[in-house]
Amino acid sequence: MGAIQRPTPAMGPYHVEIRSESFYLNRGDATPDLVAQPSRHEVVVPAADAPRILAALDQVTAHPQWRRWPRPAEGEQPDTSWTRAPGGQGPVADPHWTVTADGDRLHLRGPWVVYHETHRNLLGTELCYRDVPELREAIKKSPAGSASR
């Protein structure tokens, strides 16, 4: 069970639910004309969402418990075996983030499992706290992220 945070205006349609070792990042109003889920580990959102996602990550790192969450040991490699499909079939997620811009679209691929519930227009994923700094840097390095600075 987690604590749903009140979204800031900068987060737009995104909201965060804080948990013990991870958090949920969700996007409301996730209609098929706005977002796509090419694979279990990839999502495509409007490039204009880059600053909104960064604002959501800021909310996570500003949480009073941020410093208490587990951190990986120096040199520890991420374990993404949990990202396999039910039954252990299919590939695992990439252990590192790839964020690329394609015109007005932003592709985010990394160590997560994405769910796009088209009947509810909800896009959601669970992220480990350990992945926040790398995801933030990958977004900032993308053309969409660098334009938002």
How many C-beta atoms surround the C-beta of residue 109 within 10 A? 20
User: Following CA atoms 117, 91, 98, 148 in sequence, which dihedral angle do they give, to the nearest 10 degrees?
Assistant: 10
φ, ψ (nearest 5 deg) of residue 21 = -125, 5
Residues 6+ apart with CB under 8 A from 9: none
Ordered DSSP codes for 42-77: EEEEEGGGHHHHHHHHHHHHHSTTGGGS--PPTTPP
List the domain range (segments joined by +) for residue 115.
3-65+90-147
Instruction: Assess if residue 135 is contained within a domain.
Output: yes
The verdict on residue 46 lying in a domain is yes
In a domain, 47, yes or no: yes
Residue 43 lies in a domain: yes
Q: What's the domain count of the chain?
A: 1
Domain assignment of residue 53, yes or no? yes
Q: What is the largest CA-CA distance in the chain?
A: 42
| In-domain check, residue 119 | yes
- The pLDDT value given to residue 148: 59
Q: From the first residue on, what is the mean pLDDT of each consecutive set of 10 residues in the chain (149 residues)?
A: 86 93 93 95 97 97 81 78 84 93 95 94 92 95 76
* Model pLDDT, residue 73: 77
